Amino acid sequence: MQPQETPEAADLIARYRRIRALSEALCEPLEIEDYVLQTAVEASPPKWHLAHVSWFFETFLLRPFLPGYQAFHPRFEYLFNSYYEQTETGYWPRPERGLLSRPTVAEVYGYRRHVDEGMERLINDCAERHQPVAAERLAIGLNHEQQHQELLVTDIKLNLARNPLCPAYRSDLPVAPAAEPSALGFTDFEGGIVAIGANSDAFSYDNESPRHRVLLEPYRLANRLVTNAEYLAFVEDVGYRNPALWLADGWGRIQSDGWTAPLYWRHEDGIWQQMTLAGLRPLHPAEPVCHVSFYEADAFARWAGKRLPTESEWEHAASDRPVVGNFVDQGRLHPAPAPAPDSELQQLFGDCWEWTGSAYLSYPGYRPAEGAIGEYNGKFMSGQMVLRGGSCATSQDHARASYRNFFYPHERWQFKGIRLAEDAA
């Protein structure tokens, strides 16, 4: 007998359906050939993303919690595991995800439908039986899918940008009106002993806890993100040829990879352009610069006589501000110019993930969860840097002040930008 649907279950199922539907909506503009492309090791084919998020629900929820659940395919557990070492099956190598023509796109969508049917039965069952572990994993699974929706957007952009035809993902995306950048100002913060980390009953990942105290010296934070025009001044001042501005590893990247500008910038016939999800467009001076590495963000800040904020400074500044901004919900899929000049902090959320000067490490007292689910965040706390705030590819209800994103300092394919900071003393 099927459990009776409760109001709580109905709300959860509605949210589940809404999030799952967005993943498929983001793929609607794709041609069938686009689903299999993988043009860089750090990116994945759209087909893989669609299957992997379903694998997550199947592995961590349906198999352990839904009695009688039958897996869709016995080898999918191996094909669509990402990096979980504590599962029994292992996983297909990440660099080779784009080599798999099978399963077909149609089979992957069939897999999603199979998982969705099981998940809706499980959600009803969990609501009736009050299974806290399953409810917690459901929240992780939904937020995990939102993370992969962002990766879908950025990986599609990376794949299309590799094509010399510069094809558009969607030609109907809005264009920001011509405008000059607003004046750059700074907001002062007194610092002191402040509390950092998740502080409510709302969802957060384990790496956002425990909440703890941090001593901040007085500091100042820029009221908006660095613009294309400001970054172009750095480029034209031979910023990429001045070793005094760069960390050693960043300078090594310039030598080995030939960086001369942000990813997707092109200088042709005397005009700067950038590849967008709407195809190649002229560089807009007032839009935030994006697709820069930590090394580029750090070098620009040094050139400007400033620095990057620490993640604690950023969170302290953002903690009492509403989570509003240019998210995937707005449908631009590209950073937008800051509003008219304002003394208040702008663009804290959305537009671009903001590099901080903080290494991705655990908070005092952090303990990962037991088992494979504990691999979600904790094992990556080495060699990466923290970013804050979300981007134009992030869902608004996925962002929060305590959210800690993290990437390797050389990576550029995500929507990553720069907010400047300086000491106030």
Which pair of tokens denotes residue 136? 């917690």
Higher pLDDT: 259 or 182? It is 259
Mean pLDDT across the stretch 112-124? 96
Per-residue pLDDT tens over the stretch 63-88: 999 999 999 999 999 999 988 888 87
pLDDT of 130 higher than 80:
no
**What pLDDT score was predicted for residue 365?**
95
What is the percent of the chain with per-residue pLDDT over 70, rounded to a whole number? 97
- Among 276, 393, 419, 417, CA closest to 325: 393
Per-residue pLDDT tens over the stretch 245-293: 999 999 999 999 999 999 999 998 899 999 999 999 999 999 999 999 9
Per-residue pLDDT tens over the stretch 31-69: 999 999 999 999 999 999 999 999 999 999 999 999 999
Within 93-218, strands assigned E span 186-189, 192-196, 212-216
Mean pLDDT across the stretch 404-422? 98
Identify how many contiguous H helices and E strands the chain contains and give both numbers. 10, 14
Which pair of tokens denotes residue 163? 């094509």
pLDDT of 303 higher than 60:
yes
**What pLDDT score was predicted for residue 344?**
82
Q: Residue 341 — pLDDT band, cuts 50, 70, 90?
A: low
Report d(CA 4, CA 166) in Å as an integer: 52
Instruction: Count Cβ neighbours within 10 Å for each residue of 156-183 and write b for 16 or more, e otherwise.
Output: bbbbbbeeeeeebbeeebeeeeeeebbe
Q: Residue 5 — pLDDT band, cuts 50, 70, 90?
A: low
Report d(CA 335, CA 1) in Å as an integer: 50
User: Taking all residues of the chain, what is their mean pLDDT, rounded to a whole number?
Assistant: 94
Residue 104 has a CB neighbour count (10 Å cut-off) of 13
Per-residue pLDDT tens over the stretch 193-232: 999 999 878 899 999 999 999 999 999 999 999 999 999 9
Q: Residue 8 — pLDDT band, cuts 50, 70, 90?
A: confident
The greatest distance separating any two alpha carbons of the chain, rounded to the nearest whole angstrom, comes to 71
**What pLDDT score was predicted for residue 87?**
81
- Among 155, 170, 167, CA closest to 45: 155
H-type helices in 200-339, by residue range?
228-236, 248-257, 294-303, 311-318
**What pLDDT score was predicted for residue 1?**
41
Mean pLDDT across the stretch 169-198? 93
Report d(CA 98, CA 326) in Å as an integer: 31
pTM attached to this predicted model:
0.95
**What pLDDT score was predicted for residue 129?**
63
The number of angstroms, rounded, from the C-alpha of 65 to the middle of its chain's C-alpha atoms is: 29
pLDDT of 181 higher than 90:
no
**What pLDDT score was predicted for residue 372?**
78
Residue 425, helix vs strand vs coil: coil
CA dihedral of 361, 366, 367, 369, whole degrees rounded to 10:
-80
Per-residue pLDDT tens over the stretch 308-340: 999 999 999 999 999 999 999 999 999 999 987
**What pLDDT score was predicted for residue 73?**
96
